[in-house]
Structure 1
Amino acid sequence: MARRSKLARKKNSVTLALIVLVVLVIVALVTGVVYLLLNTEPPADPVTLCPATGPTGHTVVLVDNTEPLNFIQRQALTQRFKELAEKQVPEGQMISVFVLGESFTQNAMPIFEKCNPGTGEDKSKLNANPAQINARYTKEFRTPLIQLRQQITLDKPSDRSPVFEMLQLAAINGFDRVDAQGQRTLIVFSDMLPNMPEFSMFKGLPEFEQFAESAYGRKSQATLDGVEVHLNYLLNYPKLQTTKQAAFWEQYFDNSGAQLVEIDTFEG
């Protein structure tokens, strides 16, 4: 009887150990599944590459295509697009690029509009595919964004330069059309010299208050509430692009609800 009791106890111990082991394995599996469920992001939009919850910020780029870019300016613009792709538009944020010229009504929508999908370098192989993410970033975001400069091929100056209308379209078909959370930024590449039948800075620069009270001034005001504005001045006409002109645009953007945070002289 004693021998049987020993065998029984040994058998019971082995059984208990197996049960504990099975329970531990089940707990580990359940914990792993829960971790993956909690830490796996929903798939991004296949077209815009934006997070399933929407863009976490929005940068609108406006390129004034009414004056031909010289060689230096073309090189500089390519470099600026490279900086946008690699440094200035964080993962999850959207960039919309407008190239607008004399016939602004024919190019009223962005020629490029996607979110930065990220490079995958901060993702875990447990719940993501970093290599696949990086390949998508390169093929669908970085490369086509940098190559946009090749689409700007104007070879002679336009008769008109609808700068105000360009800004309005960037606001309406950029910021207003996209439901993005977070920071909103407008980056403009232009000489900022409107030249239209109703108003031309080539004929003189009025005080902003005088312009704002005119019929054209009232109809050309953009709405850019909460937007940070960065101007990249193309110095095509240095004698006209004075500190007084810069002050005019500072007042214009302030009147639109935006803040002009930077004026940068563009190379070339």
Structure 2
Amino acid sequence: MSGRRSRRSPSDLVSWGWIILFALGLIAAAIGFTYVYVSARSQLVELDDRLCPVVGAASQTIILIDTTDAIADVTKLNIQTLLRDTASGIQRGGLLEIRALTSAAPYTKELFSLCNPGNGGDLSAFTGNAALARERWQAGFGQPLLVALEKAVEANKADSSPIMAGIQSIAVSHLVAQKARAIPSRLIVVSDMFENTEFFSHYRGVTDFDAFKKSPAANRFATDLAGSDVSIWLIRRAKSPVDSVALMAFWQQWIDYNHGVFSSAKSLQGVEG
């Protein structure tokens, strides 16, 4: 007797179709959940008290401002505008530090030192909380920056301007460590760039770098800028003891001599005196 094949009814086929669709839906949902979870986790970065990633800043920009001599009001506004522009360009996780030059050791004073925690602009609408990020940025970074911008141009007149010592102090504390060498580093010096100490002074009319190398200042303030980019924002004076072109050439040589990379120099608006 021949065997009889069982035939599936149309209702059985429909049932299996729904089961398959349901299983595919579960798989798709699991994949979607996994993607959202992984994406959300990737945007969570643990921060320290300075809003820097606990693993270290992604980059660093240090700004040294010389207020040991008076600065014209329009120059102060120009400095503050450039500082805001610089701050807005700091990457998420990057350190921005603003320091004032002082006439006594350690030759610089911290005014602002925070990492940009991100303002939420780069967060996904599905996996990030952009509103919370903006609030954290404003409270933790934006407001303290506004306070620092006012302090940055306050007069701090002194009889000496140890620019080299200030740069050396920053290099030792921020640039030479192995961890610091692994990230992009930028130093901006805001000054008339007239070095004035007992060891060397541009007010004596000297801009010849070979003559400088014979002075006590050459060894005393020698440092390692560790390949960092160095820019100068030049504060202009009505009366200059040296030619401005020769002055910039001197500092370019000094930066190179101390293992930095001279990036640019710009004259600020306004003239003091």
- For normalisation by structure 2, the TM-score amounts to 0.84
- Cα 1:195–1:257 shift into 2, 3 Å: same
Q: Deviations over 1:47-101 (max 9, x none)?
A: 2333455322221111113113331122112211211122x32333221211122
* 1:226 corresponding residue in structure 2: 227
* 2:3 corresponding residue in structure 1: none
TM alignment of 1:122-137, pairs within 5 A: 122-137=122-137
* 1:72 corresponding residue in structure 2: 74
Alpha-carbon RMSD: 2.6
* 2:56 corresponding residue in structure 1: 54
- Following superposition, the deviation at residue 225 of structure 1 comes to 2.1
- Cα 1:153–1:183 shift into 2, 3 Å: closer
Report if the CA contact (8 A) 1:85-1:142 is conserved. Answer: no
* 2:246 corresponding residue in structure 1: 244
CA distance in 1, matches of 2:216, 2:131: 56
- For normalisation by structure 1, the TM-score amounts to 0.85
Counterpart amino acid of residue 91 in structure 2: P
Greater alpha carbon shift after TM alignment, 138-147 vs 126-135? 138-147
Q: Deviations over 1:181-231 (max 9, x none)?
A: 442211110111121122221123152123224332112022112211110
SS of the residue aligned with 1:128?
coil
* 1:111 corresponding residue in structure 2: 111
- Following superposition, the deviation at residue 147 of structure 1 comes to 2.7
Q: Deviations over 1:110-139 (max 9, x none)?
A: 332222222322321211011121222222
- Cα 1:237–1:178 shift into 2, 3 Å: farther
CA distance in 2, matches of 1:241, 1:210: 15
- Cα 1:77–1:122 shift into 2, 3 Å: same
* 1:91 corresponding residue in structure 2: 92
CA distance in 2, matches of 1:156, 1:114: 23
- Cα 1:132–1:62 shift into 2, 3 Å: same
- Is 2:141 the counterpart of 1:149? no
* 1:175 corresponding residue in structure 2: 175
Counterpart amino acid of residue 193 in structure 1: F
For this pair of structures, how many residues does the alignment match?
261
| Runs of at least 5 residues in structure 2 that lack an aligned partner in the other structure | 1-5
* 1:191 corresponding residue in structure 2: 192
- Give identity over the alignment, percent: 23
- Is 2:257 the counterpart of 1:255? yes
Counterpart amino acid of residue 221 in structure 1: A
* 1:211 corresponding residue in structure 2: 212
- Cα 1:126–1:46 shift into 2, 3 Å: farther
Greater alpha carbon shift after TM alignment, 197-206 vs 58-67? 197-206
- Cα 1:218–1:97 shift into 2, 3 Å: same
Counterpart amino acid of residue 83 in structure 2: F
SS of the residue aligned with 2:179?
coil
- Cα 1:107–1:246 shift into 2, 3 Å: closer
Q: Which is richer in strand? A: 2
CA distance in 2, matches of 1:158, 1:246: 23
Greater alpha carbon shift after TM alignment, 23-32 vs 157-166? 23-32
Report if the CA contact (8 A) 2:190-2:232 is conserved. Answer: yes
| Runs of at least 5 residues in structure 1 that lack an aligned partner in the other structure | none
Q: List, as ranges, runs of 4+ consecutive aligned residues in structure 1 with deviation greater than 6 Å.
A: none
Report if the CA contact (8 A) 1:185-1:228 is conserved. Answer: yes
- Cα 1:58–1:76 shift into 2, 3 Å: same
